[in-house]
Amino acid sequence: MTVRPASPADATALAHLQADAWRAGFDGLMPAAALAQLDQLDPAPRVARWEQLLGDAETPAQVLVSEDAQGVPSGFCVFGPTRDRDAGSDIYEIVQIGVAAQQARQGHGRALLDAVKAKARAAGVSELNVWVVKSNPVANQFFAALAFKPDGTQRLDLRVTNMPLTEGRQRCPVVEASV
């Protein structure tokens, strides 16, 4: 497995990977019919959004891709300076992270976050934050295993699913791993 910066050439693969990760990540949190609609939606708008993000040299957001042994994109992470108004300028936010369902629990998520932490340290960032759906035990366990801790801040999010989902913010200091 390798982790590398995404390029505009990855847009189509990332659009499909994103839909697959959403289906897996929101399974049980959203009605099955709503998740099934992801397969019926035209992927062109998602591809265009990825092309725009990956082609915009002015955006502060960064995207990393994990690849399997055959070089196929299997995970992604979008991150950058936090958008939270109550946070300092030395905090990065994990905006989105996803792994293909068939690649789950094979280390892609951990490898992506390890790479984000390395980039954050190099940029002088002190902390990462992420908003996690509170009713998603898999995501909460994943982030807890990587030293993220809830800070008590919550919000109601409708952006991704058009359904109200309560998210909790979690934080993790960016420190050099001890050997």
- Over residues 80-93, the pLDDT tens digits come to 999 998 888 889 99
pLDDT tops 90 at residue 18: no
d(CA 9, CA 158): 30
Residue 79 Rama label (left phi>0; alpha psi -120 to 50; beta): beta
Q: Which two tokens stand for residue 95?
A: 């905006």
Tokens of residue 144, six digits: 């807890």
- Give the pLDDT mean for 98-126: 90
Reported pTM = 0.86
CATH of domain 2-130: 3.40.630.30
pLDDT of 179 reads 45
Which is more confident, 47 or 6?
A: 6
Task: Give the pLDDT confidence score for residue 175 in this predicted structure.
Answer: 76
**Domain residue ranges in the chain:** 2-130
Decide which of 160 and 168 is more confident: 168
Percent of the chain whose pLDDT exceeds 90: 47
The letter for the amino acid at 97 is I
Would you state the pLDDT for residue 10?
92
